[in-house]
Amino acid sequence: MHPLNRRGFLGLTAGLSIAALTGCGTQTPTSAASAPRDGGRLRAAFAGGGAKEVLDPHLANLFVEAARSKALYDKLADLGPDVSAQPRLAEKWEPDATLTRWRITLRQATFHDGRPVRAEDVLASYARILDPNRAFRAKSSLAVIDLANSRAVDERTVEFALQRPFVEFPNVLAAFGAYVVPAGTEDFTSPVGSGPFRFVSFEPGKSVLLKRHGEYWEGAPHLDELEFVIANEESARTNALLGGQVEYAHDLTPTTARGHEAGGRMAIHRAPNSAVQAFAMKLDRPPFDNRDLREALFLLADRPQLVESVLAGSGQVGNDLFGKGYQHYADDIPQRTRDLDRAKFLIRRAGAEGLTVKLDTSTAAAGMVEAATVFADQVKGSGLTIEVVTGNKDSYWSDTLKNGSLSSFRSGAMPIETHVAQRLLSGSGTNVTKWARPEFDALYDRAVSTVDAGRRDEVYREMQRSLHAEGGYLMWGFADWIVGAAPNVGGISTAPANTLDWARFDKVWLG
Amino acid sequence: MSLRRYAARRLALGLVQVLAVVTVVFLLVQALPGDAAVALAGDNPDPKRIEQIRVAMGLDRPPLERFGDWVAGLARGDFGVSLISGRPVVEFLHDGLGPTLVLAALALVLLIPLSVLLGVLAALREGGPLDRAVTTVTVGLHSIPEFALAVVLIALFGVQLRWLPPTAVGADLLGQPAVLVLPLVVLVARPLCSISRLVRAGMIDALASDHVRHARRLGIGVTRVRFAHALPTALAPAVQQVARTTDWLLGGVIVVEAVFVIPGLGTILVDAVAGRDLPVVQGLAVVFAVTTVVVNLVADLLVFRLAPRSVAIA
């Protein structure tokens, strides 16, 4: 629709993020840099879930489901390159003075069957997610909505009533899985959405074929057809791409990227600050209920070495805070570096010399076991001993929430506010570090009810200062998200995974 | 013992075996850490949410009750529905059976004549250069794991030389037979070695046996002696090895399916176990158990025909 504007925007953001975040050159495919071209079928290989795969966007859990949902459906908002909420189906949002009533104006958009997207569809979709008898992923995010008192003002205006003042409400509209479906939809065998692609066919565990939705509100996609195929092994995705069987391979390892960057048969696209890699210490039990020991671990981590060896250089060092490069990130806090002497002193002061701590890890996410092993090595000679215990990968996240005192942790991108709400409040459902402080909860409440953006930012920074000083997350690095593509594929963005521009195929073309 | 009585006894035994396998599978999956709700919750393991998923899936019911319902359904030919996606288990089996059957059947079609031919040729040239060459290659090839062989073949013929597609991603197996070449080579390589070795050994023994010498004394032609008199005796052990290979082809192609991205029963099994999707795992266990029992039954009946004495004694 506006190829020039779009290309300019993408080029600008890509350039900025590379310059600002990586500081080193990321190659862009030369042949694809030519002007966008319409037509063709792009085949994209993702890891899948076999039996788990569904086309119900509210049940989406896997990356492939998120990518497919994005192609078929729209959310009211989605996350921009700095992981702040950007309007999508919602043209604009206006809170009232109390921040408890939000008026949302919908864009003029149509579903694939030609029906307009109405306020009623939005309310019905949210009611489905909030159904007390079901367990959709976005439910906890949407729980702030008082649905009984929300209403459709007219066809294209929704008024949401909230349970409490909440200035970050747009983050809720951008929540993972909060897609808008036509009112009353329960059958997703032939799904209808308002997204840039319409449904053609689905074979669970094998492929989903979609085609261009010509009337998409943001302009029709360049591609005629988009096919998602499933290849669980990373090597299979790489081979399929090298063999010309697919044009896009999602989630490659840094080793693959290094090996094929120069070959010319594959273009490597890195999205910085996509996944945080961390160790989580539990504050409610020994030994890490002792602040000195937490600080000692912070000082024992050799972050550049971890990034170099575990992420094969495809990442940036972390500063024990979530959301590097995101909106509200406290970039003014000095970077922690390794200090063995001070760590030794703190361990002695805590009376923990000779202590052995178990570090729970698993292959549930890439790099976790390797990071645990490297870290155990870095801790040697400090007085502490870390023993790496590899657990079951299918139940790892649930196990680590309850058991142990030190564990591997990894998270994808989300707004800092969401990270805090889900993991760091006394009542949070997935509080791995058991960080529970009334004064911190109060700061959060203050942040989400402060209208003034500058003052709100200051509260976020204060929260991050206390987390940096005393928290339980040792966030040592941020992994790049790596996708490989055929050299003739253009328009692939380098925004962090889980944000709007990640795995976004309506902006991609085959050159 | 008559062939019919023998078959009936084996079938009854087979039914008991299938039930036992299914029960053991149920108990083993129960013993795995976490259940379907935990696996589904993934990296968002909010305990409240896991509890809700558990209730929605009926996992809060006692395991014995769930198992009883499932076995009762099985008696009616109802395999139940997947815990996670709600799709009938029969659909999973149907979807996965196609690719796996294509692979297994083609592998057998290639494997049997090839290994018999190789074994017989080696036996007839016992001690000669051909025999020694075949022995060297088969022993060497047999020691390479499927995974390693697959990786090497893909790197060489798929990626480097680009002669063959490196995976079967998004392909229709029978519509694009080229995608089947590498997987079949990997599947056939090891059993080809073991079966041709067995045929060779059996053939050498048979050629030296009394009844073959007797047949020769009677003046029967060399070809007829070799293929009508010696070969059937030589095949008896090989047939049982083929039966075991068939089990392996159906259940153990997991590696080949994963490396070449062929969405067959192996892939479904791995996904279902990872997701703790019990009805699907049990449905697959039934299919694998029944196949194993039937294939071994057929093999035993064949051996019974080829060499009646060996079975009668057993």
Whether A437 is in a domain gets the answer yes
The answer to whether B42 contacts chain A (CB < 8 Å) is yes
Residues in chain A closer than 8 A to B258 (CB atoms): 232-233, 236
- Average pLDDT score over residue span A306-312: 94
Specify the range with the lowest mean pLDDT, choosing from A173-187, A269-283, A336-350, B284-298: B284-298
pLDDT of A12 higher than 50: no
In this structure, the strands spanning A90-95 and A101-106 are: antiparallel
With an 8 Å Cβ cutoff, are B169 and A364 in contact? no
Name all domains of chain B by residue range, CATH numbers in brackets.
3-76 (no CATH), 96-275 (1.10.3720.10)
Residues in chain A closer than 8 A to B48 (CB atoms): 429
- Residues 183-242 on B with a CB inside 8 Å of A are none
How many beta-carbon pairs under 8 angstroms link A with B?
A: 147
Burial (CB < 10 A; 0-12, 13-18, 19+), residue A76, is buried
Count structural domains, chain A. 1
Which helix (H) or strand (E) is A3 found in, with range? Answer: helix A3-17
- Residues 403-422 on A with a CB inside 8 Å of B are 410-411
With an 8 Å Cβ cutoff, are A50 and B260 in contact? no
Q: What percent of chain A has pLDDT over 70?
A: 93
Which has more confidence, B31 or A4? B31
Q: Which residues pair with A208 in a beta bridge?
A: A202, A228
pLDDT for the residue numbered B85: 80
**Residue appearing with tokens 């149920």:** B26
Whether A156 is in a domain gets the answer no
DSSP state of A21: I
Q: What is the dihedral sign for C-alpha A59, A62, A63, A67?
A: negative
- Alpha-carbon distance of B8 to B17, in angstroms, equals 14
Q: Tens digit of pLDDT for each residue in A313-325?
A: 999 999 999 999 9
Select the residue of B52, B85, B92 nearest A135 (Cβ to Cβ). B52
Q: Who's near A389: CB < 8 A, 6+ residues apart?
A: A358, A359, A360, A361, A404
Whether A92 is in a domain gets the answer no
In one-letter notation, the amino acid at residue A22 is: T
Residue A62 near residue A47 (C-beta atoms within 8 A): yes
pLDDT for the residue numbered A27: 41
Give the Cβ contact number of residue A349 at 10 Å: 13
- Alpha-carbon distance of A266 to A167, in angstroms, equals 44
The answer to whether B71 contacts chain A (CB < 8 Å) is no
With an 8 Å Cβ cutoff, are A231 and B261 in contact? yes
Residue B34 near residue A391 (C-beta atoms within 8 A): no
The answer to whether B275 contacts chain A (CB < 8 Å) is yes
With an 8 Å Cβ cutoff, are B159 and A204 in contact? no
Q: How close B109 comes to chain A (CA, Å)?
A: 26
Residue A288 near residue A474 (C-beta atoms within 8 A): no
With an 8 Å Cβ cutoff, are A397 and B42 in contact? yes
Residue of chain A whose alpha carbon sits nearest to that of B44: A430
- Alpha-carbon distance of A272 to A18, in angstroms, equals 8
With an 8 Å Cβ cutoff, are A233 and B42 in contact? no
pLDDT of A11 higher than 50: no
With an 8 Å Cβ cutoff, are B271 and A51 in contact? yes
With an 8 Å Cβ cutoff, are A242 and B166 in contact? yes
pLDDT of B90 higher than 50: yes
Select the residue of B38, B87, B170 nearest A398 (Cβ to Cβ). B38
**Residue appearing with tokens 């815990």:** B83
Q: What percent of chain B has pLDDT over 70?
A: 96
Q: Is A457 helix (H, G, I), strand (E, B) or coil?
A: helix
Q: Tens digit of pLDDT for each residue in A438-485?
A: 999 999 999 999 999 999 999 999 999 999 999 999 999 999 999 999
pLDDT for the residue numbered B296: 83
With an 8 Å Cβ cutoff, are A399 and B33 in contact? yes
- Alpha-carbon distance of A47 to A63, in angstroms, equals 8
pLDDT for the residue numbered A21: 37
Whether A281 is in a domain gets the answer yes
pLDDT for the residue numbered A195: 97
Instruction: Describe the crossing of helices A438-447 and A416-423 by its angle, rounded to 10 degrees.
Output: 150
Q: Which CATH number covers residue A375?
A: 3.10.105.10
Residues in chain A closer than 8 A to B169 (CB atoms): 43, 45, 229, 231, 236, 240, 245-246
pLDDT for the residue numbered A30: 45
pLDDT of B42 higher than 90: no
Q: Which residues pair with A482 in a beta bridge?
A: A270
Residue of chain A whose alpha carbon sits nearest to that of B81: A51
**Residue appearing with tokens 């499927």:** B146
Q: How close B273 comes to chain A (CA, Å)?
A: 9
pLDDT for the residue numbered A499: 95
Domain that residue A460 falls in:
273-480
Buried b (16+ CB within 10 A) or exposed e, A95-130: beeebbbbebbbbebebbeeeebbbebbbbbbebbe
pLDDT of A8 higher than 50: no
The answer to whether A255 contacts chain B (CB < 8 Å) is no
Give the Cβ contact number of residue B248 at 10 Å: 16
DSSP state of A162: E
The answer to whether B261 contacts chain A (CB < 8 Å) is yes
With an 8 Å Cβ cutoff, are A205 and B42 in contact? no
Q: Tens digit of pLDDT for each residue in A30-57?
A: 444 578 999 999 999 999 877 667 799 9
Q: Tens digit of pLDDT for each residue in B139-186?
A: 899 898 888 999 999 999 998 899 999 998 878 888 889 999 999 999
Q: Which two tokens stand for residue A405?
A: 């005192």
Q: Tens digit of pLDDT for each residue in B229-261?
A: 788 888 887 888 888 787 777 655 778 888 898
pTM above 0.80, yes or no: yes
Select the residue of B32, B162, B167 nearest A240 (Cβ to Cβ). B167
With an 8 Å Cβ cutoff, are A135 and B151 in contact? no
pLDDT of A396 higher than 70: yes
In this structure, the strands spanning A225-230 and A207-212 are: antiparallel
C-alpha angle A313-A319-A323 in degrees, rounded to nearest 5: 85
Q: Which two tokens stand for residue A194?
A: 């308002």
- Alpha-carbon distance of A176 to A192, in angstroms, equals 19
- Per-residue pLDDT band for B212 (boundaries 50, 70, 90) equals confident
Whether A42 is in a domain gets the answer no
In this structure, the strands spanning A41-46 and A248-249 are: parallel
The answer to whether A189 contacts chain B (CB < 8 Å) is no
pLDDT for the residue numbered B250: 67
Q: What is the dihedral sign for C-alpha B182, B268, A54, B44?
A: negative
Residue of chain B whose alpha carbon sits nearest to that of A427: B46
Which has more confidence, A20 or A207? A207
Q: Which two tokens stand for residue A29?
A: 């495919």
With an 8 Å Cβ cutoff, are A243 and B167 in contact? yes
DSSP of A267-303: EEEEEEEEEEEEEEE-TTSSSTTSHHHHHHHHHH--H
pLDDT for the residue numbered B308: 63
- Average pLDDT score over residue span B88-111: 89
- Alpha-carbon distance of A453 to A443, in angstroms, equals 15
Q: Is B283 helix (H, G, I), strand (E, B) or coil?
A: helix
pLDDT of A15 higher than 80: no
Q: Which two tokens stand for residue A263?
A: 């070959």
**Residue appearing with tokens 């590498």:** B182
Q: What percent of chain A has pLDDT over 90?
A: 84
The answer to whether B162 contacts chain A (CB < 8 Å) is yes
- Alpha-carbon distance of B279 to A362, in angstroms, equals 26
Residue of chain B whose alpha carbon sits nearest to that of A43: B170
In one-letter notation, the amino acid at residue A450 is: T
- Average pLDDT score over residue span B184-195: 90
- Residues 53-92 on A with a CB inside 8 Å of B are 53-54, 61
Q: Which two tokens stand for residue B53?
A: 């998923």
Whether A305 is in a domain gets the answer yes
With an 8 Å Cβ cutoff, are B38 and A140 in contact? no
Residue of chain B whose alpha carbon sits nearest to that of A54: B85
DSSP state of B298: H
- Alpha-carbon distance of A279 to A472, in angstroms, equals 8
User: In whole angstroms, how far apart are CA A173 and each of A74, A182, A263, A313, A458?
Assistant: 11, 17, 42, 35, 24
- Per-residue pLDDT band for A29 (boundaries 50, 70, 90) equals very low
Whether A363 is in a domain gets the answer yes
Q: How close B75 comes to chain A (CA, Å)?
A: 24
pLDDT of B227 higher than 90: no
The answer to whether B175 contacts chain A (CB < 8 Å) is no
Whether A179 is in a domain gets the answer no
